[in-house]
Every structure is written in structure tokens, then in C-alpha cells.
Amino acid sequence: MAMSDIEARPLFGWWKILSFQVELEDTGERADTYGVDPLGHIVIERDRMMSILTSRERLSNDPAALFETMIAYSGLCRVEDEDRLIIKVDTAWHPAWIGTEQVRFFKVDRGVLAMTTAWQIHPSFPGRLARGVLMAQRNNV
């Protein structure tokens, strides 16, 4: 069941990404895949979201290395079951994401957004289940 705008409002706004880690299901270990202090923002308003995340240490001029140290996407979104944000991606840094639905589980507590992906095989950790774990602080802009 979709959630009303009023119920979803705590999720709406501009968020500064504080951390992003990949958590491995089998060991619980976490890796800072974009560094310990990444740069990025998430903007969520009514039916649209956009996000950009990069490593702070992007010093290379090599296009492949730059591509591997960022993620950016946007699309129409909806909130379901009080804790799931579903994004129908229409623009992305990686063309394979365009047209997909990306599901994010979230919790907002005192201006902090905790967001995770579903468990899935991660390309950086072949054969192992992993999920993305993101923390963000509400920006009052």
C-alpha cells in the first residue's frame, strides 16, 4: 500500500551523505567503497529523488577510475510500507540502471537518514551477498 505525502514527509528534503558502506552478509564486515568521508547528496521531494555519491579521493584523470568512484541516479519515486523507497530510475551514471526499480529500506530518526539496499550479489565481492548501507544528515537549506 502506498503511503500518503503527509506520512512520507520526514523523508522529503535535502540530505548530505555522511557514509556509504558495503556490508557482507556472511561476516558482517563493512567496506567503505567510496572512502571514509565520501561526498554526496540525496534530494527527495514528493514523487522524485536524485542522488550523487563520489569518493573524496578522486584524483585520477582516467575515465574508468572516475566512473568506479561515483554513483548518480534519479527518477520517480514512491514510499511503500512505511520503510521502502522505490525509485523508477530514468537517469543514471550507469546505463544498466535506467528503467529499473531500485528499492531502498529507510528509517529517519532525529534528522538522520539510514538507508539500505536489499541483499544481493555485489560485483566487488563475487559470490557473496552484500548490501549498501548509507547514512545521511538532513540539510536545512
**pLDDT at 8 (0 to 100):** 53
**What's the rounded Cα separation, in Å, for the pair 93 and 71?**
6
pLDDT of residue 141: 55
pLDDT attached to residue 75:
98
pLDDT per position in the chain (141 positions), as tens? 454 444 557 899 999 999 999 999 999 999 998 999 999 999 999 899 999 999 998 877 888 888 889 999 999 999 999 899 999 999 999 999 999 999 999 999 999 999 999 999 887 888 999 999 999 999 875
Residue 107, Cα to own-chain centre: how many angstroms?
Answer: 13
C-alpha grid cell, residue 119:
541483499
CATH of 5-139, one of 1.10.3720.10, 2.40.128.490, 3.40.50.720, 3.30.413.10: 2.40.128.490
User: What pTM value is reported for the model?
Assistant: 0.88
What's the confidence (pLDDT) of residue 96? 93
Q: What's the longest Cα–Cα distance across the chain? A: 46
Which of 2, 34, 1, 6 minimizes the C-alpha distance to 18? 34
Instruction: Tell me the torsion sign for CA atoms 127, 121, 128, 31.
Output: positive
For residue 35, give the 3-state DSSP assignment. Answer: coil
